[in-house]
Amino acid sequence: MVDGLFWEDLQLTEEDEEKVIRKTAEIIHRFGLDAAAILMIESIKPLAYIGGQMGRFLISPFLPAISEDLGRKGDIFLRVFEKRENVEKLLSLLEEMAKEEERRPQETFENDEKEHKKRGWRRLIPFL
Amino acid sequence: MGNSMPNVNDYLAGAILANGFIWIWNLILRQFRIPLSKLPVVLLADVSFVIYLLAGGVSAYLVSRRASRGHLIVSLKVSFLSWLLSILFILSMALKPIIGSIITFLLCLHAGGVAGGYFALKRRLRRRAENP
pLDDT in tens, chain B (132 residues): 467 889 999 999 999 999 999 999 988 988 998 888 889 989 999 999 999 999 999 999 999 999 988 899 999 999 999 999 998 888 787 767 688 888 988 999 999 999 999 999 989 888 877 776
Does B66 fall in a domain? yes
CB A44 within 8 A of CB A51: yes
pLDDT in tens, B5-18: 899 999 999 999 99
Q: Is the dihedral of CA B29, B34, B38, B41 positive or negative?
A: positive
In single-letter form, the type of residue at position B131 comes to N
Does B120 fall in a domain? yes
Query: Which residues of chain A from 80 to 99 reach within 8 Å of chain B, CB to CB?
Result: 95, 98-99
Which member of A36, A39, A99 has the closest CB to residue B129? A99
pLDDT in tens, A52-77: 899 989 988 888 889 888 888 888 89
CA–CA min distance A3, chain B (Å): 38
CA–CA min distance B29, chain A (Å): 36
pLDDT in tens, A5-59: 555 567 788 888 899 999 999 999 988 888 899 999 988 888 989 998 999 899 8
**Domain count of the fold of chain B:** 1
Does B27 fall in a domain? yes
CB A80 within 8 A of CB A23: no
Does B35 fall in a domain? yes
Does B3 fall in a domain? no
* Residue of chain A with shortest Cα separation from B119: A35
The CA-atom distances, in angstroms, between B78 and each of A31, A117, B15, B72, B114 are: 29, 38, 6, 10, 10
CB burial of residue B8 (10 Å; 0-12, 13-18, 19+): exposed
Does B56 fall in a domain? yes
Does B121 fall in a domain? yes
Does B1 fall in a domain? no
CB B110 within 8 A of CB B83: yes
pLDDT for the residue numbered A125: 73
Query: What burial letters (b/e) apply to B76-101, b meaning 16+ CB within 10 Å?
Result: bbbbbbbbebbeebbeeeeeeeeeeb
Question: Domain of B73?
Answer: 8-130
